Structure 1
């Protein structure tokens, strides 16, 4: 499954949040019933504040700041009245962490406090949406456009792996944790293999969810560093889970080959040979070179 256009365009940045306005501007927006709804917005729709209208109450848990949620959505350009993205058609729900670093302000303001299972209309002014998007023009948007979204809040996504602890193999470096009990860094032991001759993976926690399929879009927490105890070059724990496609070319080969088959809820270590990581051109492409090691929490998949 491909990533939706909107997910591709979203920026990761910090935003200053202000209060959310009322919902009266959305009264004339029409939403059809059914599992795959249609949203009708008249041309030249504008709003100065993020506004919300709950179409249907879900009755589930309330969405709180910092939660990661799975949502289906329809996105409409208020200026043209035309739909520019639709996760129902793409069969690819978006996973979104509602914090200041990873969510557009309009999403944050419109969805925090709503219930799981709800259908919610949200109008997002330029300052909370389009002006902050990367490559807004690729979506047919201008920087001062208002966007209108219909969100179905499907579920909350776990923030970390949960399941039965599994003993690591003797050759593997030891994983250490920070004061929040989150994976932080690998260190070597006397038995740690000095080289990574081939790519391999193992579990530290065995989850009880479905097996991840080849090419799936997954929501993950992870830490990546140079094997076996080098610098940490990337991690998600400080910002929240990330959504990535395991399709060939969507991630490095060791991820697309090693993560399918593991179950959701698992904490998986993937040790990558240089060839299955960023390859011989890693430095030229400004990527970490040589063998790498990742610890990946498999939280959700679609």
Structure 2
């Protein structure tokens, strides 16, 4: 399924988990500014060394970041190669935090986020060997010898076990799939002709604010093909919640439209006809044939 992958460029290399080494920050590297606001980072004119350096600048509260978490954080990122440094990425430019699937990031970022708590701030100097390696990353002008400097303010962390929270709603239409209201939803598609129009039903009524178009939404979803009941989409099976900017055509139209206006904490059943899904072309890689109708159970975990 077409999806957003915020900051996906940092998720291209395999993680090394807690086996990575870290140390103190280099002399002259400084951070000023309040948490939650864009920090001012002073980078010295000297060259960075080849060691990963991680320092928690402020300790947050709540549960520590763990495997399977989708971490929400505001950040600034610089490249640094001695005598030259440049801001290459910032969540403050978009006005929305970024999403970091912990355990699926470049090794240095995984190490930096390990054990952090919401409300905390961490700084990391990531050498090439624990960043993009000898190839660098040309789209962000990161060279083979560039280190990365990141300051991350952790906003929240959503574990793989997160789910909808609210009041279960009656499901009385036997012509639509039945979705369980438990922590891990199941969905049973009926053996009837699928509806011709988009269908949206609330399975669990959340108590949060309604999702607005262009917000960054944290979610879990389960997607099945109506024709055969095959599961073709499961964020839980991937190991962590997912995220998307709704109303920005990052998802198929039916999925996108169904989420806007629903309260955070809700679980929503969405039946998507082909015209608002993959249409006549289908999606062969997912087993979706020409003109297949799709059914989704979507847990709306947060919106930013």
Match of 1:86 in 2: 90
How far apart, in 2, do the equivalents of 1:269 and 1:254 lie? 11
CA separation of 1:260/1:5 partners in 2, compared to 1, >3 Å: closer, same or farther?
closer
The runs of 5 or more residues in structure 2 that have no matched partner are none
Q: Matched residues in 1 for 2:85 and 2:6: separation?
A: 17
Tell me the TM-score normalised to structure 2 length: 0.84
Query: Structure 1 residues 9 and 222 mapped into 2: Cα distance closer, same or farther (>3 Å)?
Result: same
CA shift for structure 1 position 244: 1.0
Inter-CA distance 265–49: structure 2 relative to 1 (3 Å threshold):
farther
RMSD: 3.0
Match of 2:243 in 1: 243
Partner of 2:219: 220
Matched, 1:208 2:207: yes
Count of equivalent residues? 292
Among candidates 44, 65, 72, match of residue 74 of structure 2: 72
SS in 1 for 2:38: coil
What does residue 301 of structure 2 align with? 299
Query: Per-residue deviation at 1:12?
Result: 5.8
Task: Give yes or no for the alignment of 1:173 onto 2:177.
Answer: yes
Q: CA deviation at 1:47?
A: 4.3
Q: Give me the whole-angstrom Cα distance separating, in 1, the residues matched to 2:270 and 2:4.
A: 27
Deviation at 1:143, TM superposition (A): 4.2
Distance 1:215 1:127, change over 3 A: same
- Structure 1 residue aligned with 2:17: 17
- 1:228 Cα deviation after fit: 5.3
1:47–1:115 CA distance, 2 compared to 1 (3 A): farther
The equivalences for 1:108-127 within 5 A come to 108-127=110-129
Spell out, residue by residue over 1:125-158, the C-alpha distance to the aligned partner (whole angstroms, 9 max, x if none): 223322499x921111124432110000112336
Give the unaligned 5+ runs of structure 1: none
Instruction: Mark the CA change 1:198 to 1:47 in structure 2 (over 3 Å): closer, same or farther.
Output: farther
Task: Say yes or no: does 1:199 pair with 2:192.
Answer: no
Moved more, 259-268 or 220-229: 220-229
State the alpha-carbon separation in 1 of the partners of residues 89 and 4 from structure 2: 7
Could you list the runs of 4 or more consecutive aligned residues of structure 1 that deviate by over 4 angstroms after TM superposition?
Answer: 3-6, 283-287
Moved more, 19-28 or 200-209: 19-28
The equivalent residue for 2:150 is 149
Aligned mates of 1:259, 1:225 — CA distance in 2: 17
- Residue equivalent to 2:229: 230
The normalised TM-score by structure 1 is 0.84
Partners of 2:113 and 2:228 in 1: CA distance: 40
* Contact 1:4/1:85 (<8 A) preserved: no
CA distance in 2, matches of 1:169, 1:14: 46
